[in-house]
Amino acid sequence: MHPFLGFRFRLSISVISMPSSRLREAVRWRRWGKRDWAIAAIAFATVSFALILRFDSSSSSSSSWSNQSPPNSAEALLVDLTLLSNAKDRGAVCLDGSLPGYHFRKGFGSGSSNWLLHIEGGGWCNTIESCSKRKLTALGSSNFMDHRVPFSGILSDKASENPDFFNWNKVKIRYCDGASLSGNRGSEVQDGRKLFFRGQLIWEAVVDELMSAGMANAKQALLSGCSAGGLATLIHCDDFRERLPKASNVKCLADAGFFLDEKDISGNYTMRSFYHEVVKLQGVAQSLNKDCVSRMEPSQAEILKHVQTPVFLVNPAYDFWQIQNILAPKASDPHQYWLKCKLSIKNCNPSQIDTLLGFRNSMLKTLSEFQQKEDSGTFINSCFSHCQTWMGGTWHSSNSPRVNNKTIAEAVGDWFFNRKTVKEVDCTYPCNPTCYNMNFGS
């Protein structure tokens, strides 16, 4: 079994450069209105869907949230990008050799000594060709990153939208190596196209800079990430813990970062070769737990088992990415029997719903050992969704998805601060009326 069976690409959009010496003053912002957010939410879903469908090109170009308006807060803080000015000296560069970066919002009040890091998602590249194309985008080069990104959801500075973390120091780490910040330079093959596999060095450079900016004295810290960023969170979780004071409360949150190694509808493990190619191309094994790698080529469950730091998993049981790329990739469905179902779960017939139920049950079975860990936490809802922590509407609002009448933000807060044991598992689709279900066919 391959080392990243069950991890995947992901999505996200991005942001101005400034010298890292201005870290503490890095926030230049304005507020977005409701119309801005509505447009951005739909654009994000459409762009991200296109980015991740490497194995399924049959998607519609439009998308929306069914039943409800786009799940975003009415306003969001826009935060500038900080480039690591000294990163090139240590070889920490994006795929194209440009400087990596992050967005920083300084904490205030009671949160001034606490830190929350969020790693961007956006897919993987598994060949020289795909990485060469990727380096011409914001997911492979800071030259193409947006000047500013909104800080919403788990990064929001509003207590009403982010009750437990609103006043913490918050950082969004940009993703530009194509291997979940785990690529290693020893595997680089230069054939004139100048590709740099330096994700591990990027992670180290960003964290070192944040440590010098005050994170070394953190009293509490949470490392989080969406999708490919969720994978990066699991890979670097224990390293993050080791870098911070022993007395500090440090935990990790992976959003849509748990993926199954399941057969597709044709009976094949379609994605295995892709994972193998990514790991081989970028030398990812060097960034994994050495004990785990020495004994076997670990599945995701094995990698989770070796993470010593407390971890919380947020996952939809009907993750549209997994359905579209693991369960029913294009190659497994030559007659496009699953096409409409993949575009919207409302289009699935009873037989397909039964198949999706089996996929859900496999996820719960795979997570059963993780669920037994006393310090673990889970929030698994029955939504046709993907990442859910970065948007205010899905993170915490009056209309947010709930399980047992609890929002994701409330569940994560209860777990992080040890207020309650949190092992939230939703009923089966279509039982939950609070879900935001993506619709790629409208």
Active site members: 227, 319, 386
| Residue linked to tokens 């609890």 | 406
CA distance 50 to 331: 17
- The secondary element (H helix, E strand) that includes residue 23 is none
Task: Give 191's contacts (C-beta < 8 A, 6+ positions apart).
Answer: 128
| Residue linked to tokens 């120091």 | 169
CA distances from 294 to 186, 232, 285, 333 (A): 19, 20, 10, 37
Tokens linked to 212: 């010098």
The answer to whether the CB of 73 falls within 8 A of the CB of 409 is no
Torsion of Cα atoms, 75 then 81 then 82 then 85, to 10°: 180
CA distances from 13 to 77, 324, 380, 431 (A): 15, 21, 25, 31
Task: Give 248's contacts (C-beta < 8 A, 6+ positions apart).
Answer: 218, 219, 220, 221
In Å, the largest CA–CA distance within the chain is 58
The answer to whether the CB of 400 falls within 8 A of the CB of 407 is yes
CA distance 279 to 178: 11
- The secondary element (H helix, E strand) that includes residue 136 is none
- The secondary element (H helix, E strand) that includes residue 34 is helix 34-52
| Residue linked to tokens 């300084």 | 106
| Residue linked to tokens 């890979």 | 235
